């Protein structure tokens, strides 16, 4: 049984997690709870858990301090971070300190929680396996050597150890970097979560060491180097320089070498990598600050796409302030949503992100956060129609927020929103009238988007490429409505929104839905809405 301690300053969160699963059925046991890091240490000492689920922002001792303390005092305990959407920077720091994974509080569900904990259990179980042959022992020693080196680099980057301890600990592993100068690179594997599958190396360790071997072999032709993974898919690369005049350290030479590396990675592993580079030749005491600069330069991938190579002196000074999807944009988006103008919705979102992509100055995390806000508005729009919370779970294997806050490029975000809006409207059409056949859903979509037209059964037959007689039959079977009733009902539902939410006068709403005769419009409105438009208008006021 894997033992778990929950640490969060919100009682409802602790209770919610504890009651979300039948833990013992899945091989887990909740052995303790705490509201801050100090209390958590006391609980850990008493209960000896295998996993600690911890919030980040807490009084007295926060989650980052707790993770650091656990790593020092209880190195075998694994930590998983509970975070909010605006804590992505803290999550990254937590991962650098050794956290295994993170879970968003906003989107936490029993299935996603169980999935993360199951992965952590697999790590725990794999670490407890005893090698049975000399060959396995030898491989474990090699892997452990690299793991120890990674740990030293991670502590250095996180600021947990100073430059002297850093070089001394590396020296104990037989790695000498105290002398000479270095160029520092930050490398990030593109689409890291999908990389092992694309490479067809489903074993994470095999993929990792194959990747490092290609890097080392390619770099060793021109450089003495050292490589370490700082956190999943992101690497620090030190290129040691013996002669400041060495032509291999020019921008052109380094770029040429890195492009060849990408050619090899695509050939052998079907993956690519992006780089941020600081070519300032520095001593070991400045590796941490220089890697930070290289990491910032590598963020330019967000605007320029995969396989990017950026030097620090060519990168941007990102604006730290958040981006606002202002009231004007919000109003226009809601109007297009209410009008079932799918093309218009996509255009507003595209225009917003196109402007950001053109400027290339906003911090990528700020762009990701505003994309979550826009997505949340779209999700709330769906809830307004069906009154349910199953739109996401029934249409997406990965929660939209999880995708958006980790999106690698702004173009991924734009493409994703286009697909998301398609799914959103298909869900609404199928929910409203329970149609399943794609040609009927397509026709419903056309009616909603062209509500001002006079759409006859004959025209619908041409649009759907189905004979009038057969269309009439299957439309009634699929939607429960005769075609003309469906069209008229849809027009009146739209008119109701135009009068109620947009404040249009009766004749204006009638014209919007393609009916010029106000008297005829009033009869239809009363037939399908149960009340005349004038009474509906007065009731709304």
Give one DSSP letter per residue of 288-338, joined into a string.
HHHHHHHHHHHTTHHHH-TT-EEEGGGS---B-SPP---HHHHHHHHHHHH
Residue 156 and residue 159: Cα distance in Å, rounded? 5
What is the C-alpha separation between 26 and 117, in angstroms, rounded? 10
DSSP 3-state assignment of 221?
coil
- pLDDT tens digits along 174-198: 899 988 899 999 999 999 988 988 8
pLDDT for position 428: 75
Average pLDDT, the chain: 86
What pLDDT sits at residue 20?
77
Instruction: Give me the numbers of helices (H) and strands (E) for the chain, helices first please.
Output: 25, 10
pLDDT of 181: 94
Sign of CA dihedral 411, 416, 422, 428: negative
The pLDDT of 39-53, averaged and rounded, is 90
CB–CB of 300/316 below 8 Å?
Answer: yes
CB 11 within 8 A of CB 38: no
Distance from the Cα of residue 14 to its chain's centroid: 25
CA dihedral sign, ordered 211, 217, 222, 227 = positive
Query: Given a cut of 60, is residue 130 above it in pLDDT?
Result: no
Identify which has the larger pLDDT, 206 or 451.
451
Tokens of 522: 């009033």
Residue 370 CA to residue 71 CA, distance in Å, equals 34
Residue 134 in this model has a pLDDT that exceeds 60: no
At residue 9 the predicted structure's pLDDT band, cuts being 50, 70 and 90, is confident
C-alpha span between 219 and 221 (Å, rounded): 5
Residue 538 banded pLDDT, cuts 50, 70, 90: low
For residue 55 the two structure tokens come to 């919030």
Per residue in 340-383, pLDDT (tens digit) is 788 899 999 999 999 999 999 999 999 999 999 999 999 988 88
Confidence of residue 135 (pLDDT cuts 50, 70, 90): very low
pLDDT of residue 434: 58
Residue 281: per-residue pLDDT: 93
Q: What is the pLDDT of residue 82?
A: 83
At 133 the pLDDT is 47
CA 118/CA 100 separation, integer angstroms: 12
Question: What's the mean pLDDT in 279-290?
Answer: 94
Query: What pLDDT, on the 0 to 100 scale, is given for residue 261?
Result: 95
Angle at 176 between CA 175 and CA 178, to 5 degrees: 140
CA distance 79 to 366: 26
Residues paired with 240 in a beta bridge: 182, 224
State the pLDDT confidence band at 128, using cuts at 50, 70 and 90.
Answer: low
The 51-55 sheet, strands edge to edge: 28-34, 2-7, 51-55, 78-83, 101-104
The helix/strand/coil state of 256 is helix
pLDDT at 480: 83
Which region among 44-53, 424-433, 456-465, 499-508 has the lowest average model confidence (pLDDT)? 424-433
**Residue owning tokens 């397509």:** 442
Range from 23-27, 224-228, 303-307 carrying the lowest mean pLDDT = 23-27
DSSP string, 106-138: TT--HHHHHHHHHHHHHHHHHHHPPP-SHHHHH
- The CA–CA distances, whole Å, from 379 to 396, 433, 434, 435 equal 12, 19, 19, 21
Torsions phi, psi for 481 (to 5 deg): -120, 145
pLDDT grade for 387, boundaries at 50, 70 and 90: low
Number of residues assigned to the chain: 541
Please give the backbone phi and psi of residue 226, each rounded to the nearest 5 degrees, phi first. -135, 140
Mean pLDDT of the region 32-48: 89
Euclidean distance between CA atoms 148 and 154, whole angstroms: 10
The percentage of residues in the chain with a pLDDT greater than 90, rounded to a whole number, is 41
> Is residue 143 pLDDT above 70, yes or no?
no
Which pLDDT belongs to residue 131? 46
| Mean pLDDT across 268-278 | 94
Q: Which of 236-240, 461-465, 496-500 has the lowest mean pLDDT?
A: 496-500
Question: What's the pLDDT tens digit per position in 12-21?
Answer: 788 778 877 7
Mean pLDDT score, 123-133: 64
CB 239 within 8 A of CB 223: yes
CA–CA gap between residue 125 and residue 1 (Å, rounded): 11
Ordered structural domains, the chain, with CATH: 2-128 (3.40.50.2300), 134-314 (3.30.70.270), 327-433 (no CATH), 438-540 (1.10.10.60)
Q: Considering only 38-42, 123-127, 292-296, 396-400, which range has the smallest mean pLDDT?
A: 123-127
Q: Inform me whether the pLDDT recorded for 11 exceeds 60.
A: yes
The answer, yes or no, to whether residue 132 has pLDDT greater than 50, is no
Q: How far apart are CA 207 and CA 197, in angstroms?
A: 9
Quick check: helix, strand or coil at residue 502?
A: coil
Average pLDDT of the residues in 497-514? 87
Q: What is the pTM of this model?
A: 0.59
Bridge partners of 241, per DSSP, are: 181
Query: Beta strand 224-231 with 234-241: parallel, antiparallel or unpaired?
Result: antiparallel
What's the mean pLDDT in 530-539? Answer: 77
Which tokens go with 214? 């290609």
Give the Cα separation of 88 and 16 in Å (integer). 22
Residue 346, phi then psi, degrees to nearest 5: -65, -40
Q: Give the phi and the psi of residue 276 in degrees, each rounded to 5.
A: -115, 135
pLDDT of residue 85: 59
255: pLDDT strictly greater than 90: yes
- Count CA within 13 A, CB hemisphere, residue 117: 27
pLDDT higher at 305 or 477? 305
């Amino acid at each position: 049984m894997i033992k778990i301690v929950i640490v969060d300053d919100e009682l409802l969160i602790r209770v919610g997690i504890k009651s979300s699963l039948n833990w013992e059925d899945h091989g887990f046991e909740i052995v303790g709870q705490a509201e801050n890091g100090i209390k958590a240490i006391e609980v850990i000492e008493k209960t000896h858990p295998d996993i600690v689920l911890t919030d980040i922002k807490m009084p007295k001792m926060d989650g980052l301090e707790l993770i650091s303390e656990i790593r020092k005092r209880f190195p075998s305990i694994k930590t998983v971070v509970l975070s909010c959407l605006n804590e992505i920077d803290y999550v990254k720091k937590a991962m650098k300190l050794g956290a295994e994974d993170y879970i968003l509080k906003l989107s936490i569900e029993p299935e996603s929680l169980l999935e993360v904990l199951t992965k952590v259990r697999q790590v725990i179980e794999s670490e407890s396996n005893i090698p049975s042959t000399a060959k396995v022992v030898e491989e474990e020693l090699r892997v452990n050597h690299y793991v120890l080196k990674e740990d030293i680099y991670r502590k250095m980057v996180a600021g947990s150890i100073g430059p002297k301890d850093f070089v001394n600990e590396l020296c104990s592993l037989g790695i000498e970097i105290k002398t000479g100068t270095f160029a520092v690179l930050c490398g990030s594997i593109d689409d890291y979560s999908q990389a092992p599958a694309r490479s067809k190396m489903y074993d994470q360790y095999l993929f990792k060491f194959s990747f490092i071997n290609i890097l080392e072999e390619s770099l060793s032709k021109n450089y003495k180097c050292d490589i370490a993974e700082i956190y999943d898919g992101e690497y620090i690369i030190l290129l040691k320089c013996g002669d400041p005049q060495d032509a291999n350290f020019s921008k052109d030479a380094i770029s040429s070498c890195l492009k060849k590396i990408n050619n090899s990675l695509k050939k052998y592993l079907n993956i690519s990598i992006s780089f941020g580079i600081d070519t300032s030749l520095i001593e070991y005491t400045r590796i941490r600050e220089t890697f930070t600069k290289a990491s910032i330069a590598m963020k330019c991938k967000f605007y320029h796409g995969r396989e990017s190579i950026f030097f620090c002196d060519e990168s941007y000074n990102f604006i730290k302030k958040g981006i606002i999807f202002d009231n004007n944009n919000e109003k226009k988006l809601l109007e297009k949503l209410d009008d079932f103008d799918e093309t218009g919705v996509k255009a507003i979102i595209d225009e917003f992100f196109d402007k950001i992509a053109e400027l290339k100055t906003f911090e990528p995390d700020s762009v990701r956060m505003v994309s979550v806000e826009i997505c949340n508005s779209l999700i709330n729009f769906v809830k307004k129609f069906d009154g349910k919370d199953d739109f996401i779970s029934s249409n997406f294997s990965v929660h939209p927020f999880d995708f958006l806050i980790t999106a690698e490029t702004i173009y991924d975000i734009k493409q994703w929103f286009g697909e998301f809006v398609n799914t959103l409207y298909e869900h609404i059409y199928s929910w409203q009238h329970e149609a399943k056949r794609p040609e009927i859903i397509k026709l419903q979509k056309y009616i909603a988007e062209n509500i001002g037209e006079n759409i006859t059964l004959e025209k619908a037959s041409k649009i759907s490429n189905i004979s009038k007689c057969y269309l009439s039959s299957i439309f009634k079977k699929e939607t429960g409505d005769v075609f003309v009733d469906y069209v008229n009902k849809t027009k009146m539902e739209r008119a109701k929104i135009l009068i109620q939410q947009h404040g249009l006068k009766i004749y204006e709403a009638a014209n919007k839905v393609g009916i010029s005769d106000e008297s005829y419009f009033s009869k239809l409105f009363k037939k399908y809405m149960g009340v005349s438009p004038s009474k509906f208008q007065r009731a709304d006021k």
